[in-house]
Amino acid sequence: MTDPLPPPPVFRCDGERALVTGASRGIGKAAAIALAQAGAEVTLAARSVGECEETAEALRAAGLAARAAALDVTDRAAVRAFVAAEPPFGILLNNAGTNIREPFLEVRDDSLEHLLDLNVRAMFTVAQAVARRLVEAGRPGSLINVSSINGHRGGVNRSVYTATKHAVEGATKGMAAELGPHGIRVNTLCPFFVETPLTAGILSDEKFRAALERRVPLGRILRTEDLLGAVVFLASPASAMVSGLALLVDGGFSVQ
């Protein structure tokens, strides 16, 4: 008699609670929908709670579990209070972030402060709050910090953004090393240019867009749906032994 077949990998998040920051639009919104479709009970957090609620309502209407939460991730006290008052989140998509494109010689102090505050400090505080709650409860988890290809390379007019995304990569390595013994995995998702409200302006410049696309082996700018397999993979037991990974979703851009 032959052995029974081994079970297939589990690309599902059933029974997990997922927190997605920056879920009112763009990558966060698409990822929140994908995580709910993969079985997670999703909390969509952002400042624009109305937009989160609209998505949550559509998910509930489809029989999925979702709710909205008003949260400014740069408000450290609010983040800590919010996470502490909740049952632990086994999945975090630490996604809230932005970019301000400025030449290095003209970077304003307030841009520098804002990007450090949102892309680094808030990312750190949210991950720390979620991880503390998991450790306290003795629960495993998967934290996904949204980085960028600029977590790995530079670019014109993006010295601050590049610095913040390298910080995301650095913090993730430290978190993965320290949280592994608690059964908590920490990885980054590193997209190339994705069509979202954040990039709508720059990608409407046809010359810029065409020049970018020529540099992508797979030939195009990403759409949010291109990231969702990677998000569900990192969130689910399919990646049970993956931690400290920077998962580039870039159409091959970074090989050149």
Catalytic residue set: 161
Q: Measured between alpha carbons, how far is residue 240 from residues 14, 18, 25, 90, 126 in Å?
A: 15, 16, 29, 13, 22
Taken as a whole, the chain contains a residue count of 256
Work out whether the CA dihedral 222, 226, 230, 236 comes out positive or negative. Answer: positive
Q: How far is the CB of 224 from ligand NAP (least distance, A)?
A: 7
Q: Are 92 and 141 in contact (CB under 8 A)?
A: yes
Q: Residue 226: what are its φ and ψ, rounded to 5°?
A: -70, -15
Q: How far is the CB of 74 from ligand NAP (least distance, A)?
A: 4
Which helix (H) or strand (E) covers residue 70, if one does? strand 66-70
How many other C-beta atoms lie within 10 A of the C-beta of residue 157? 16
List contacts with ligand NAP (CB under 6 A).
21-28, 46-48, 71-74, 95-99, 118, 146, 148, 191, 193-194, 196-199
Q: How far is the CB of 102 from ligand NAP (least distance, A)?
A: 15
Q: Which is nearer to ligand NAP, 72 or 244 (CB)?
A: 72
Q: Which is nearer to ligand NAP, 26 or 90 (CB)?
A: 26
Q: Which is nearer to ligand NAP, 139 or 220 (CB)?
A: 220
Q: How far is the CB of 237 from ligand NAP (least distance, A)?
A: 24
Q: Which is nearer to ligand NAP, 5 or 156 (CB)?
A: 156
